[in-house]
Structures are given as structure tokens and as C-alpha cells.
Structure 1
Amino acid sequence: MIINSIYILIATLCFGIIGNVRGKNLIFSSLGGGITWFFYLIFSRYIGPSSILCFFMAAVFACIYSEIMARILKTPVTTFIIGAIIPLVPGGNMYNAMFQYVQGNINQSLSIAFKTLAIAGSIAIGIFFASSIFKTSAFFNRKILKNR
């Protein structure tokens, strides 16, 4: 699991270079990708491989990591969230769905495509969930500090 996470960290580092992320943001963005994948592997070991819940929980972790690092490094959250969720994106499943469609296996193509959409939706909901919690807590902190 650790070796696999290191490979993902290197791949996310290369993606960050292509995405023009610079300096320490590049390091922490790629570190987020590696740690997110490590958590996904842990969740999939205990919950089940390719479970929608695993992707959701890993996306929540990725968003929490990104929000914390953005506040520490005073950088926009998108710098870190993109690097953190890149390993979770189900691109291989989408390729397989299109391949099955081209081969004429419509039912198998639709099955893979719906699973891919469910994974993408769970990632989006996980990010929305964690981001909403952070934004709500920041809003209440501002209100409390303003009323003092």
C-alpha cells in the first residue's frame, strides 16, 4: 500500500508540474494525492474494493486536507483539491465504458458508465460535504468574532 501511494504521489507531482503548480504548493499538492490514495486503499481494504463509500470517504479526506493546507499556506483551496482528487478520478472506467460501447457491448458499457457516474458523484458529494462544513464553521467564527 505504501509503495502504491508513493507511485501515486509521483504521478500527482508530474500532474502538478503540467498544471503549473509551483514551489511548496507543488509538494503539498502531490503529498495530498499520495495520502488520499493511501486512505482510499485503507478504506477499500475494510469496506470493499471499488465501493462508492470508499471514494466518498477518500474525497472527504482530500477536501479536509486541502482546506487545512490552503489556510496554512494562504493559497486557494483549488490548488490542493485538484492534486488530492486526481488519483480518485475514474478515468479508466470511463475508457472501459467507451471501449465496450465501440465493441458493441451496450449493456456492459452502460453498466460500467453508471458505476463511473456513481463514483464521480460520490467524489463530488464528498468534496461538497467537507467544503460546506468548513465554510459554515468559518461563517460562524466570523459572526462570533464580529459580535465580541
Structure 2
Amino acid sequence: MSNIIVQVISAGIVTFGFGLLFNIRGRNLVHTSIAGCLSWLCYLLCKNLGLTEEMAYFSASVIIGLYSEIIAIKLEVPSNNILIAALIPLAPGGGVYYTMQNLIYKNYLASFQNGIQTFLLAGSMALGVITAIAMLKFYNYMKVWRSNE
């Protein structure tokens, strides 16, 4: 349990640092850090529930996509301000590193396997964000449609 807490706090600190790097200020920086913590917590919970790596990345991306869109509406800022830095803890940097390392050492099969896994993780993240945006757009459409009846 304490390991999970340390990891979530570390994800928040990393997100805070990237938020500073991306020139995010004030309340947006706080919400960006919260989104980073939330993304890693969701990922860890999904992994503990036995979901695959890809599904854990997808679920975490949906959660932070929804969070960033809702907070962006409340704060009246672009959702990218919160979303981009919040995705940093999920970024599959290790997979890219091992893909390149195996490629340099001419271990082409391992390089290909790592590359495919990294591509699947990045695709899961992108699909999760797209799903979150589509869910909110559909919700808003239904809300307007019901009010016009």
C-alpha cells in the first residue's frame, strides 16, 4: 500500500515538473498534477485488478481525458493545458529505449517485439483520450437534444 502511495505522489511530482516545463501556471498546474496522480493511480488499480497493460493504459487515459475536459470547462482553459503533462507518467519511454537498444545490438526480433508493445501502449493512450472526448461530446449532444424536445 505504501508503495502505491509513493508511486502516485511521484507521478504528481513528475507531472508538476513537466507542467513547469510546459509553462503551465497557477490553478492549471495544480490540476495538472492531480491529473498525473489520478492517471498513475488508475493505471496501478487496473494492473492490480488483472487487466492487461494495454487496457490499463486505455483506462487511465480515459479517466484523465474526462478529468482534463471537465476541469478545462470549469476553469475555461484549453484541455490540452492539463492533458498533455498529465499523460507524461504513462508515456512508454522504457519501451522506446529497449526497442532502440535491441536495434543497436542487432537483436532485431526483440527490437520488433518491444516496438510493437510500445506502439500498442501509445495507441491505447491515444484511443483512451479520444474515447473520453467523444463521451463528453455525446453527453453534451444528448443534453442539448433533450432540452429541445
One fold, TM greater than 0.5?
yes
Identity of aligned residues (%): 32
Moved over 4 A (4+): none
Following TM superposition, by how much is the alpha carbon of 1:138 offset from its aligned partner in structure 2, in angstroms?
1.6
Residue 82 of structure 2 is matched in structure 1 by 80
Q: How many residues align?
A: 146
Measured in 1, the distance between the counterparts of 2:56 and 2:133 equals: 18
List alignment gaps of at least 5 residues for structure 2.
Answer: none
Conserved 8 A contact 1:47-1:54: no
Conserved 8 A contact 1:39-1:58: yes
Following TM superposition, by how much is the alpha carbon of 1:143 offset from its aligned partner in structure 2, in angstroms?
4.0
Task: Report whether the alignment pairs 1:51 with 2:53.
Answer: yes
Residue 23 of structure 1 is matched in structure 2 by 26
Measured in 2, the distance between the counterparts of 1:83 and 1:139 equals: 28
1:1-148 counterparts in 2 under 5 A? Answer: 1-48=4-51, 51-145=53-147, 147=148
Following TM superposition, by how much is the alpha carbon of 1:72 offset from its aligned partner in structure 2, in angstroms?
1.6
Alpha-carbon displacement from aligned partner over 1:25-69 (angstroms, at most 9, x marks no partner): 011111100111011011111125x61111111111111111111
Q: CA RMSD in A?
A: 1.4
User: Normalising to structure 2: TM-score of the pair?
Assistant: 0.92
User: Normalising to structure 1: TM-score of the pair?
Assistant: 0.92
